[in-house]
Structure 1
C-alpha cells in the first residue's frame, strides 16, 4: 500500500519548515530510507520562472533549505537543479526566487539543465523514448519538490507535473505543439515521463498554495501543509481529495488509472500524520472552466471538445508588452500589432503556454458560448 504523510506547517519560518519536513519524512521511515552516505542527490524544486518567494510561483526557499540541510545531515551531497520555462537562466531565476541564496548558504551547487539525451521509456507505453536533461541521470537520488498550484491546462501542477522541469528549456514548447488541443495526450506524456525518471521521494510545498489563474498569476491561499511520499500519483490523489476534487478530474491521475498503476481510490493509500478530514480545504478556486468538460460523458467530450475548451484572452490594461507570451507560443498564434498583443485563434492550440508565461496576469481564460451557457 502506498503511503503519504500529511503534516501541518503554519508558515515559512526556517525552523518551522525544518520541523515540518523532518516530521513528514519521519512518518515515511526517516531520511535513511531515501539517502545513503555519499549519495549525490538532485533536489528538483518548481522554478517555473524568476519570481520572488512572496508571489507563490515557485517552491519556497525555506522548504528547499530544509530539504538540503537534512539531506546533508543524512550524509548525502545535495544539488539543486531545474529548467525554467523558455530561455530563462537557472542562476537568474534562482536568484530572484531566493533559491540561489539558499544554495550559497548551504553549500549546494546549482545545476543547470542545459543538455538533453534520449532515454528509453522502461515501460510499455505511448512514448518509446524521451529527451531529458542529461544532468538528471548524474544523481543517485532525486527528491522532487513541487509547489501546490493551479494550472489552466492540467488543472493542478503537483507531483507528476513538476517533473516536466526535467525537459530542457524550449523542448517543453515542442511537447505542447505535439499535444495540440489534446490534454489527455499531454497528461499521458507527463505520466510516462514521471515513470521514466522515477524520483525516490516527493515533498510538496502546500504551506501557501496558488488558486485561480495559476500557475503564475493566481491568488495565494494558505493551506499550512507539507505532504510527502514515494509515489507521485498517490500524492496527487491525496491532494485533490483534500481540495474537494474527484481524483480522476486531474488528467494525469485519469491517465495513470487507465494505464493500470494508480490506486483504485483514496482508501487504498495509507495516510500518515494528520487525518484528511481535519485538514480538508473548502472552496478552493480552480481555473475558470477547467473541470467543466470532465462532467460530460467521454464520448460526448470528443464531439464537443472545440466548444468546451476555453480560449486565452488578453486584458490590455494589465499587459506591459514584455513579449514573454510571444516567445512561449509554440504555433506563433500570439503576436504584437500596433503595440498590442493579439491572438490568432485559428492557430491557437489552447496549450495556455502564453498564460503560463505571463508575469502580469494579463492573459485570462474566456469561455466559449457553450461553456458560458453551462456555467
Structure 2
C-alpha cells in the first residue's frame, strides 16, 4: 500500500518478518544465537556489511518486531527494547552522561527511579538537581554550564502533575542538553513525547504495554542517531530483552489502543465519583475537567490515563481502604487489565526518606489506584464499601 498507515494498524501489522513457513502470528525466536553459512558470511554480519542476526543480546527477530511497533506508536525513527523499565532509564542516563555532567530531574518520580538517581547515578560523579515538574522557571534556574540531560515523568506517579514538554524541550535544546521523558503512565497511545520536542521517550513495557501482568520489559524511542548509541550501551551492558518477553509484549501492543481507551474511560468515572465522597480530601487525575493544567493536558495527552491518586486522613485510613477492597488487587503493578491498589508512602515510595516523599507531595494518606477493564460500577461499589468501613 502506498498510503501511510495509522499507528494503530502498524501496532498490529508492523515489523513482522515472515519465515519460510508463512506463519500468521509473529514467530518466537527463542534462541541465544544464530548460524551463518560460511566464515565470510559471519565476517560480513559482524562488520555490518550485511543485515542479519548473530546473537540475541545484540538483536533478535522477535525483539526487533516489538521495537518496530513501539517506534511506530511513538512516532520515532527507532526503538530499543531492554529487560525492564529501570534498565531503560539506566540506558537513557549512562549512554549520554559521564563524570562531571549535571542532570536536572523532576522531584516527582516513581520511587525506584528516585533511588536510582540519588543513590546510583551520583556515585559516578554526576551531579543532580531536583525541581518541580510543573514550574519551568525552576528548571531554568537549575541550569548549569555542565547540564547535559533533563529528566521527568509526565504525568507524575501518582499525583498526575503534568510537565510542559514543549517548554522544557526548548530549554534543553537551548543549552545543548537532551530531554528524556518517562512515558510509562500513559503509554505510547496516551502520549507521544517526541512530537512535543522530547529527544527520548522511555517506557516500562511491564505496565500498560503488556497490560496483563505477565512479563517485564522496557523500551526507549527516539532518533536513529540517539538509539544507535543506546543500542551499543545496552549490548555492552547486557540489558537485552528476552525474546519470550518480546513475544508476549507484541500481543499487548496489538490491543493497547482498545485497552487504553476503555481504561481511561473507567478511570475518569471513578475519579469523578471519588471527588464526591466526603472521606476523600483530594483526587489527582489528569482526565478531570477541573484539573489545574487541563489546557496543557488537552494539548499533549490523548486522555487522562489509568492512574488515580486520592487522599484520605492518614496512614490508618489509607490502610483500611487497601485492606477492605475486594476486587482491587493489592499489588504494586499498574497498567494491568485488573485494577490495583497500593499505599505509596509505604510501598512504591517507601524507600525514600520522609522529607523526600513530602517534597514530592507523597503524603501518608495517599492511595493509588490503577484502573483496569472490570465493569466500572463494580469497581465503584468496591471502593464505596471500603470507604464506608
Shared fold by TM > 0.5? no
Whose Rg is larger? 2
Tell me the TM-score normalized by structure 2: 0.33
Higher strand share: 1
Tell me the TM-score normalized by structure 1: 0.34
